[in-house]
Chains A and B, each alone.
Chain A
Amino acid sequence: MNMISFPPRRPRGKVHVPTVTLAHGGGGKAMKDLIDDVFVAAFDNPLLAPLDDQARIDLLDLAQYGDRLAFTTDSFVVDPLVFPGGDIGKLAVCGTVNDLAVGGALPLYLSCAVIIEEGVSIDLLRQVATSMAATAREAGVKIVTGDTKVVNKGACDRMFITTTGVGVVAAGVELGAHRARPGDAVLVNGLLGDHGAAILGARGDMALQSPIESDCAPLQGLIESLLKSAPNTRFMRDPTRGGVATVLNEIAEAAQIAIEIDESATPLRNEVRGFCEILGLDPLYLANEGKIVAIVPPDEAEPAVEAMRAHPLGRQAAIIGTVVAGEPGRVTMRTIFGGRRIVDMLVGEQLPRIC
């Protein structure tokens, strides 16, 4: 009997065109090729490779890290897609990794959904995927499942990415804003506002060439060493959009405490100060992508700062303020000038002043 001989299995797909077209979202060969050539090749890991509809993760494997699953999701729509110090891909990994880490979780797995506008160049897509992969490696997480959609020109702004992350919280780690008490120290791990200033500068509508780079970075390592030195850390949050001022207000509101920060202790890059000065912006409201605000009991404040300073992402760590007995929900600042002012929630977006 003659055996039917099948041709050898199709080799991994390749994209041969310079830009994404609607065909890449059609579910057929073009789409398979795109996913293979761009994403699977970059993310490269055994959980993703079978390209099943879901990634399956061994529970026993997870349980070795702790006793609770942490789960978060975030979408990234930054303009421009590539900016000094990073790009949308790096941002999409850091953002979700940091959202897990500030809850005290060890980030382990990510999913990644990409919505692409037709016409985006494959090179750009490759650059973004490569940077996601590199950042994931740096953060010790694996991108194990994903989704790709291509939409009509004009239906989205070149590329949106949504990442969802899974992590595990170690037994005994218990973080919450409600644990803050008067006397606690308010810490940050470094210079504030770099991301916001970098993005505004890179957009170019300000006609300002700024040499400022985004601080975009995955923080799980820094947070791990912080928690080791300050095991009673009360609470952490990453001050992304809305900046440190917004996060402090959220903490003060949630915990019904008052916070006073000291302007002269607030670490700012000179370039960021100058940038804000020119545009009439307040650096406290600028976005950060590699920063945390931590509330730490007074006796652990110094060890916490030292631990952060010993880490490459925390060299300029500082105690910027304290939890005080004051009107609940109120954040105030001692200005460098010796005055005092209220640091409120921002209404809408910060817009540059004219004179």
Chain B
Amino acid sequence: MRYVDEFRDRVKADVLVKEIERLLAHMGRDQDRPLQIMEVCGGHTHTIFRYGVEGMLPKSIELVHGPGCPVCVLPMGRVDDCVAIAERAEVIFTTFGDAMRVPGSRKSLLQAKADGCDVRMVYSPMDALALARKNPTREVVFFGIGFETTMPSTALTVLQAEREGIKNFSIFCNHITIVPTIKAILDSPDLRLDGFLGPGHVSMVIGDAPYEFIARYYKKPMVIAGFEPLDILQSLWMLLKQIDEGRCEIENQYARVAPAGGNAVALQAVAQVYELREFFEWRGLGSIDHSGVKVREAYAGFDAERRFAVPNARIADPSSCQCGEVLKGVIKPWQCKVFGRACTPETPLGALMVSSEGACAAYYQYGGIKRGRDEAKASAA
């Protein structure tokens, strides 16, 4: 496939891996004190596992799989709210596929569907709007979830619904924003990270300026990275070069797609439809100020939260979950006490086990469980 295969070239990958090895050696990094780089975005985590990128890297660099999977960080209480809305007889509840399996305190959307709720999988909010047009006697609710990547398409759909005067469509807004989240990670007292791979898709919308504070105030470098395996390697190499040269900047490896200034149309729609929430609860990370958005008063008619009073209960994560520590890179997924035992993709306790982009599920699916055991054995010996 054009525009894809060239980003999976093995020969180029080998060259980059050699360069990364050389830089790490030059920095004097060893396995005991590996360099820790966080990829913030779940899409990156997925690529890393899907192509076995981690296994190609020397042991003196460690990838930490960050909080960037919106499905993974969705708190249980919000899933309960979804189920409560879906249980209303008049509602057709629409959602992206991977949000179906996230456990709530009572059930997941998949279970709700099995119990007779009209829950449907869609690929975009526009599909949900089309359903609303087709079913004028029903209430179609779209489960808006995701970072700045998916936020504009939900906003544009609301604007479209308004233009058409559609009254039976609303969104249950759970969109979150990446910048406060990175800040929360940087403020965490047990922080060990040396640098970040930034989410390329998010920068398609917001550009790279919102990340400036990371370099300026926290003195950590970041490279905004694309989603092909070569993108990841090249971004890692760029990051290492910065560290080696003592630089600390926000660089953009994904400039072929993500312009420095972001996307004005998308930003305009986002600003028009949403405003920041005071607080938003994250699974594993607790409440982060201004990290979520809600629908503005002017569009209240399209806000499921206002139209259907939701219970909005706060439900604490199970105490055995160590998702927060995994998200911050303090422990590796397999070091969690319940990984692969009480917590598996069939019976996820924590959110990181739910989506294939979640660090725990990715380790479990793509062989981390074995690697975890091996490393545990090696360190015990």
Q: Which A residues lie at the B interface, using CB under 8 A?
A: 205-208, 270, 273-274, 277, 279-280, 282, 327, 330, 332-333, 335-342, 344, 347-348, 351-355
Contact = CB atoms under 8 A, between A and B. Distances in A.
B14 interface: yes
Contacts of B127: 205, 207
Shortest 6 CB-CB contacts between residues of A and residues of B: A339-B52, A342-B367, A351-B97, A347-B345, A352-B97, A354-B96
Nearest to A345: B365
A207 B124 CA distance: 8
Given A207-B127, A341-B52, A348-B101, A280 B370 contact: no
Interface stretch (B43-51, B82-90, B305-313): B43-51
B99 A354 contact: yes
A244 to B, nearest CB: 16
B236 interface: no
Given A348-B345, A348-B346, A353-B98, A338 B14 contact: yes
18 contacts: A270-B1, A277-B1, A282-B50, A335-B50, A336-B10, A337-B52, A338-B10, A338-B56, A339-B51, A339-B229, A341-B50, A351-B101, A351-B121, A353-B355, A353-B357, A354-B71, A354-B96, A354-B150
Interface in B224-263: 229-230
B284 interface: no
B145 interface: yes
A336 B228 CA distance: 12
Contacts of B346: 347-348
B123 A208 contact: yes
A341 B49 contact: yes
| Most A Cβ at <10 Å: residue of B8, B51, B146, B357 | B51
Contacts of B370: 327, 330, 342
Given A336-B10, A337-B56, A339-B56, 16 more contacts: A205-B121, A208-B123, A277-B4, A335-B229, A337-B13, A337-B52, A339-B52, A339-B55, A340-B55, A341-B367, A342-B370, A344-B367, A351-B121, A353-B356, A354-B145, A355-B201
B301 interface: no
A273 B13 contact: no
B378 to A, nearest CB: 16
Nearest to B94: A205
B259 to A, nearest CB: 19
Contacts of B56: 337-339
B120 interface: yes
A42 to B, nearest CB: 35
A327 B371 CA distance: 13
Contact of A207 (B8, B122, B230): B122
| Most A Cβ at <10 Å: residue of B4, B52, B344 | B52
Contacts of B159: none
Interface string B108-125: 000000000000111110
A205 B367 CA distance: 31
Nearest to B362: A341
Nearest to B52: A339
B101 A273 contact: no
A343 to B, nearest CB: 8
Contacts of A342: 365-367, 370
Interface string B34-70: 0000000011001001111111100000000000001
A191 to B, nearest CB: 14
Dominant secondary structure of chain A at its interface with chain B: loop
| Most B Cβ at <10 Å: residue of A344, A347, A348, A354 | A354
B291 interface: no
A150 B244 CA distance: 74
Contacts of A273: 1, 4
A355 B1 contact: no
Contacts of A327: 370
Interface in B345-381: 345-346, 355-357, 364-367, 370
A327 B150 CA distance: 41
A279 B120 CA distance: 16
A335 B51 contact: yes
A208 B123 CA distance: 9
B366 A353 contact: no
Interface in B1-34: 1, 4, 8, 10, 13-14
A256 B124 CA distance: 43
Contacts of B50: 282, 335, 341
A285 to B, nearest CB: 11
A180 B312 CA distance: 56
A353 B146 CA distance: 11
B327 interface: no
Nearest to B126: A207
Contact of A344 (B147, B355, B365): B365
Nearest to A268: B1
A218 to B, nearest CB: 31
A344 B100 CA distance: 21
Nearest to B357: A353
A339 B229 CA distance: 10
Given A335-B51, A335-B52, A347-B346, A355 B366 contact: no
B177 interface: no
A344 to B, nearest CB: 5
A89 B230 CA distance: 45
Contacts of A208: 123
Contacts of B230: 337
Contact of B356 (A274, A280, A341): A280
A282 B47 CA distance: 12
A354 B51 contact: no
Contacts of B122: 205, 207
B123 A206 contact: yes
A337 B96 contact: no
Contact of A347 (B99, B121, B344): B344
B342 to A, nearest CB: 15
A199 B126 CA distance: 22
| Most B Cβ at <10 Å: residue of A206, A208, A341 | A341
Contacts of A348: 101, 345-346
A348 B344 CA distance: 12
B149 interface: yes
A351 B52 contact: no
A340 B123 contact: no
A205 B56 CA distance: 38
B237 to A, nearest CB: 15
